[in-house]
């Protein structure tokens, strides 16, 4: 978007001539031409804003200049509102739960708001891409402001270790091997060092490894040392929620500002951090370890027999309290933790025995003892025990936490203020209640994209409700899709509740001619159809091929699954997703014992809270999938929600997606 400026008598006069300029052939377009097509009339390239307007010599953009000392861009009104809320709520020690769409600039807003307070930040992330985004934005802030805010990425040995003996091992084995090599001074990189002035201000994994290799010092311990004084510590969620890990890496939260980015799954991540699993395979290995040191004890055999009996009998899930009582009976003790602690010398003997044999000192008995101590020390009334057989045929006992507030509330209360943000947290009041943050302030911010760039349409003639599923409904979905896809330019993403249902629909559409066949490829309304890969490597190649095809004139279709690799965390900007279609509502499998237990637990905690969680979980996954379609301010996308239940529960759709209202697809 270009505003033509003319200077007259030292004053800045703006001629309101808004032009949209093609980045390829430089042809200018009027607003009417842009709204009509959004593609260059001359060469077909997508049009983008190009704002060349500078601040006037008088008094324009005073606020921008002031904020520009930290904020590296010209802020939009919605961003100003967000930053103001952060400063007022988080800056005063409160908790802000904020929902803002993809492309909003949540990361840079959070950093630019808190850094001027001279407060240290612990920034929780889920993926490596989020880590890179945080560090990139901090570097922009430093460059723009002339400041030197420091940051370090805390990561595991598997990502930071330079010792080839450790890097090839599993996570558990690498910890044990590192401990051995450092204690015996056999690691070339572990030595005493001080963080020098020559170290980069912003320390990513790659920079830590490069610096460590050049100076022969360990990047893993260098990161921990640097974290003692860094302004921003970027860490995985598990480092924050798991107290044992926090203590081990010396991650202090007291008085620091805590940020949870992409926090829509914070409840599940918190529960995972407080859960544990005992497997038949670990028990067998632990027994062999005891035999190797000639230690006679029947408790491992007793646990294995107990687990085998429960799995063989298809025992339904038990409460944590019942599991604790049964383990006390199996072990023949009341104080399980004291019993586990009594094996400390045996654990050391097992490790030393392995060292003498030239093996890595990984002690599986220690894993069994840790599981027992977890059951004994946790609030058992908030847990469930599940007995099942793994895909490889091993008996498993899952000790599953049902209360995410046990993980989230303590760390938030310890911090000196917290910001929890994502593009998909609706309904906010249910989300905060489940996390145990009833005093938190909640905000939902409108998208910075033009409202006309977002169009959400509901099709109330179809549903994937189990009672109404069938070939007739599947054909109806296919027929409706055929017309929709024909009208959408370039790339179209279609998401299904389960992979099985997706493959079933594609098969029926092939048989009924809804999908056209040409060689080995299927086509929907002339667009080649790509199907999400079941494995990560295969899926990556499929997505790359889809993205290339989506930019061609005919476009392409990518079919995927809610909560899958392409529905969360993936980017499909501009032509890669001009349409996002949701087939059904992704409710979790109600027959799953964990889902049933979760609903029952939350309903007991507060009337109908479990039912509301079940619905929130489904719409959270739907909102996440929709978020693939709008990635930048000038991006645009059509959303089609193909299930009548979306019409019934419109309030659960993220605010940014309905900023232009909700439309009904004609019957």
The whole-number average pLDDT for the span 526-536 is 94
Looking at the structure, tell me whether residues 479 and 534 fall in a common domain: yes
Residue ending a domain, choose from 360, 377, 394: 377
Only one residue has tokens 């200077």, namely 7
pLDDT exceeds 50 at position 59: no
Q: For residues 557 and 529, is the Cβ–Cβ distance under 8 A?
A: yes
pLDDT exceeds 60 at position 511: yes
State the pLDDT confidence band at 21, using cuts at 50, 70 and 90.
low
pTM of the complete model: 0.82
CATH code, 332: 1.10.275.40
The candidate with the shortest Cα–Cα distance to 556, out of 489, 637, 509, 487, is 489
Q: For residues 445 and 83, is the Cβ–Cβ distance under 8 A?
A: no
The whole-number average pLDDT for the span 301-312 is 96
Residue 366's H or E segment, with its range, is: helix 364-377
Three-point CA angle 237, 243, 249, nearest 5°: 75
- pLDDT one-digit tens code per residue, 115-158: 999 999 999 998 888 899 999 999 999 998 989 999 999 998 88
Looking at the structure, tell me whether residues 560 and 488 fall in a common domain: yes
Distance of CA 295 to the CA centre of its chain: 45
Tell me the residue range of the domain where 31 lies: 2-60
Roughly how many angstroms between the first and final C-alpha of the chain, as a whole number? Answer: 38
Residue ending a domain, choose from 337, 357, 377: 377
pLDDT exceeds 60 at position 397: yes
Note the pLDDT of residue 362.
83
Looking at the structure, tell me whether residues 534 and 586 fall in a common domain: yes
Note the pLDDT of residue 83.
96
Q: Is residue 382 part of a domain?
A: no
Note the pLDDT of residue 513.
94
State the pLDDT confidence band at 275, using cuts at 50, 70 and 90.
very high
Burial of 515 by CB count in 10 Å (0-12 exposed, 13-18 middle, 19+ buried)? buried
Mean pLDDT, rounded, of the chain:
86
Note the pLDDT of residue 193.
65
Q: Report helix angle 364-377 to 320-331, nearest 10.
A: 130
pLDDT exceeds 60 at position 52: no
What single-letter DSSP state applies at residue 261?
S
State the pLDDT confidence band at 55, using cuts at 50, 70 and 90.
very low
State the pLDDT confidence band at 354, using cuts at 50, 70 and 90.
confident
Q: Is residue 412 part of a domain?
A: yes
Looking at the structure, tell me whether residues 317 and 369 fall in a common domain: yes
Q: Report helix angle 205-215 to 219-227, nearest 10.
A: 110
Distance CA 153, CA 220 (A): 10
Judged by DSSP in three states, 46 sits in: strand
pLDDT exceeds 60 at position 381: yes
Judged by DSSP in three states, 142 sits in: helix
Looking at the structure, tell me whether residues 616 and 506 fall in a common domain: yes
State the pLDDT confidence band at 23, using cuts at 50, 70 and 90.
low
Looking at the structure, tell me whether residues 513 and 541 fall in a common domain: yes
Distance CA 478, CA 597 (A): 36
The whole-number average pLDDT for the span 392-416 is 94
Q: For residues 515 and 522, is the Cβ–Cβ distance under 8 A?
A: yes
Computed over its alpha carbons, how large is the radius of gyration of the chain? 28
DSSP string covering 194-227: ---TTS-SEE-HHHHHHHHHHHT--HHHHHHHHH
Looking at the structure, tell me whether residues 264 and 280 fall in a common domain: no
Q: For residues 585 and 619, is the Cβ–Cβ distance under 8 A?
A: yes
Q: Is residue 370 part of a domain?
A: yes
Distance CA 328, CA 573 (A): 56
Q: For residues 85 and 441, is the Cβ–Cβ distance under 8 A?
A: yes
The whole-number average pLDDT for the span 471-479 is 95
Q: Is residue 655 part of a domain?
A: yes
Looking at the structure, tell me whether residues 513 and 470 fall in a common domain: yes
Distance CA 649, CA 154 (A): 41
DSSP string covering 72-92: -S---HHHHHHHHHIIIIITT
Distance CA 636, CA 581 (A): 14
**What are 399's strand-pairing partners?**
276, 385
What single-letter DSSP state applies at residue 382?
G
Distance CA 150, CA 357 (A): 45
Domain count, the chain: 4
- pLDDT one-digit tens code per residue, 161-212: 888 777 777 777 777 778 777 777 778 887 766 666 678 899 999 999 998 8
Q: Is residue 619 part of a domain?
A: yes
Q: For residues 123 and 232, is the Cβ–Cβ distance under 8 A?
A: yes
Where b means 16+ CB within 10 Å and e means fewer, 443-467 reads: bbbebbbbeebbbbbbbbbbbbeee
Q: Count of alpha carbons within 13 Å of 463, Cβ hemisphere only? A: 12
Looking at the structure, tell me whether residues 491 and 544 fall in a common domain: yes
- pLDDT one-digit tens code per residue, 142-152: 998 989 999 99
Q: Is residue 187 part of a domain?
A: no
Three-point CA angle 73, 138, 543, nearest 5°: 85
Q: For residues 256 and 122, is the Cβ–Cβ distance under 8 A?
A: yes
Q: For residues 582 and 641, is the Cβ–Cβ distance under 8 A?
A: yes
- pLDDT one-digit tens code per residue, 632-667: 778 889 999 999 999 999 999 988 888 888 999 888
Distance CA 208, CA 189 (A): 13
The candidate with the shortest Cα–Cα distance to 199, out of 191, 209, 190, is 209
Token output for 490: 């370039």
The candidate with the shortest Cα–Cα distance to 152, out of 68, 249, 264, is 249
The candidate with the shortest Cα–Cα distance to 267, out of 435, 57, 451, is 435
Token output for 395: 């008996």
Looking at the structure, tell me whether residues 26 and 88 fall in a common domain: no
Give the Å distances, CA to CA, from 385 to 160, 255, 310, 388, 402: 35, 36, 11, 10, 11
Select the more confidently predicted residue: 126 or 78. 78
Q: For residues 517 and 510, is the Cβ–Cβ distance under 8 A?
A: yes
Residue ending a domain, choose from 428, 444, 460: 444
Q: Which sign, positive or negative, has the C-alpha torsion 191, 195, 198, 200?
A: positive
Note the pLDDT of residue 323.
97
Distance CA 10, CA 26 (A): 30
Q: For residues 362 and 379, is the Cβ–Cβ distance under 8 A?
A: no
Q: Is residue 243 part of a domain?
A: yes
- Strands of the sheet containing 491-496, edge to edge, are 516-518, 521-524, 527-531, 556-561, 491-496, 579-583, 637-642, 454-458, 662-664
Three-point CA angle 572, 575, 580, nearest 5°: 60
Note the pLDDT of residue 15.
30
The candidate with the shortest Cα–Cα distance to 234, out of 120, 116, 67, is 120
Q: For residues 492 and 500, is the Cβ–Cβ distance under 8 A?
A: no
Residues near 509 by beta carbon (within 8 Å), at least 6 away in sequence? 474, 475, 478, 515, 524
Q: For residues 646 and 587, is the Cβ–Cβ distance under 8 A?
A: no
**What are 637's strand-pairing partners?**
454
Q: Is residue 398 part of a domain?
A: no
Token output for 428: 């906010």
Distance of CA 664 to the CA centre of its chain: 31
pLDDT exceeds 50 at position 50: no
Looking at the structure, tell me whether residues 506 and 589 fall in a common domain: yes
CATH code, 262: 3.40.50.300
Distance CA 409, CA 270 (A): 10
Note the pLDDT of residue 660.
83
Note the pLDDT of residue 358.
78
The whole-number average pLDDT for the span 237-257 is 89
Beta strands in 532-590 (DSSP E): 556-561, 579-583
Note the pLDDT of residue 107.
94
Note the pLDDT of residue 177.
78
Looking at the structure, tell me whether residues 328 and 433 fall in a common domain: no
């Amino acid at each position: 978007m270009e505003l033509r400026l003319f200077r007259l008598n030292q004053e800045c006069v703006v001629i309101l001539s808004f032009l949209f300029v093609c980045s390829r052939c430089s042809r200018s377009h009027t607003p009417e031409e842009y709204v009509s097509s959004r593609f260059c009339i001359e060469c077909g390239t997508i049009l983008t804003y190009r704002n060349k307007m500078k601040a006037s010599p008088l008094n324009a953009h005073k606020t921008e200049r002031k904020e520009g000392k930290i904020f590296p861009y010209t802020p939009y009104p919605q961003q100003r509102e967000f930053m103001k809320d952060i400063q007022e709520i988080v800056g005063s020690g409160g908790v802000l739960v904020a929902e803002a769409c993809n492309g909003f600039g949540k990361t840079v807003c959070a950093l630019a708001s808190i850094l001027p307070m001279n407060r240290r930040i612990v920034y929780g992330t889920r993926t490596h891409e989020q880590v890179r985004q945080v560090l990139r934005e901090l570097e922009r802030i430093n460059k723009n402001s002339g400041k030197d805010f420091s940051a370090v990425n805390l990561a595991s040995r598997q990502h930071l270790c330079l010792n080839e003996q450790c890097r090839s091992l599993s996570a558990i084995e690498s910890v044990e091997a590192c401990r051995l090599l450092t204690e015996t001074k056999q690691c070339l990189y572990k030595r005493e060092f001080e963080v020098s002035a020559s170290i980069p201000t912003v320390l990513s994994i790659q920079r830590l490894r490069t610096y460590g290799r050049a100076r022969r010092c360990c990047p893993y311990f260098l990161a921990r040392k640097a974290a003692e004084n860094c302004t921003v510590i970027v860490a995985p969620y598990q480092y924050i929620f798991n107290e044992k890990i926090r203590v081990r890496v010396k991650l202090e939260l007291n008085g620091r500002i805590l940020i949870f980015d992409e926090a829509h799954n914070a409840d599940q991540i918190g529960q995972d951090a407080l859960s544990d699993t005992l497997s038949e395979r670990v028990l067998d290995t632990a027994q062999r370890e005891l035999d190797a040191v000639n230690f006679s004890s029947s408790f491992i055999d007793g646990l294995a027999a107990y687990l085998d009996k429960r799995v063989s009998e298809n025992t339904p899930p038990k409460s944590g309290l019942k599991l604790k009582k049964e383990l006390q009976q199996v072990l023949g003790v009341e104080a399980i933790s004291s019993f586990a602690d009594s094996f400390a010398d045996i654990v050391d003997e097992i490790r030393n025995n392995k060292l003498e044999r030239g093996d890595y000192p990984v002690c599986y008995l220690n894993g069994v003892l840790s599981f027992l101590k977890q059951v004994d020390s946790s609030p058992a009334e908030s847990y469930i025990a599940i007995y099942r057989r793994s895909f490889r045929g091993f008996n498993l006992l899952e000790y599953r936490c049902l209360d995410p507030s046990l993980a989230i509330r303590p760390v938030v209360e310890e911090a000196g203020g917290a910001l929890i943000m994502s593009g998909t947290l609706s309904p906010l009041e249910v989300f905060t209640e489940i996390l145990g943050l009833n005093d938190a302030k909640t905000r939902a911010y409108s998208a910075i994209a033009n409202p006309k760039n977002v169009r959400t349409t509901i099709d109330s003639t179809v549903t994937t409700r189990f009672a109404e599923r069938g070939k007739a409904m599947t054909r109806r979905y296919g027929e409706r899709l055929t017309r929709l896809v024909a009208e959408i330019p370039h790339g179209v993403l279609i998401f299904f509740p389960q992979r099985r249902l997706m493959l079933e629909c594609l098969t029926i559409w092939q048989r009924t001619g809804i999908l056209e066949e040409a060689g080995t490829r299927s086509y929907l309304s002339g667009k080649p159809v790509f199907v999400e890969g079941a494995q990560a490597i295969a899926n990556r190649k499929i997505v790359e091929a889809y993205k290339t095809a989506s930019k061609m004139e005919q476009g392409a279709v990518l079919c995927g699954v809610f909560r899958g690799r392409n529905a969360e965390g993936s980017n499909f900007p501009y032509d890669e997703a001009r349409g996002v279609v949701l087939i059904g509502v992704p409710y979790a499998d109600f027959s799953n014992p964990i889902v049933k237990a979760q609903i029952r637990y939350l309903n007991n905690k507060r009337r109908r809270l479990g039912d509301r969680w079940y619905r929130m979980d489904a719409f959270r996954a739907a909102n996440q999938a929709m978020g693939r379609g709008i990635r930048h301010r000038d991006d645009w996308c059509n959303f089609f929600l193909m299930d009548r239940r979306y019409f019934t529960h419109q309030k659960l759709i993220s605010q940014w997606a309905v900023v232009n209202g909700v439309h009904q697809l004609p019957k």
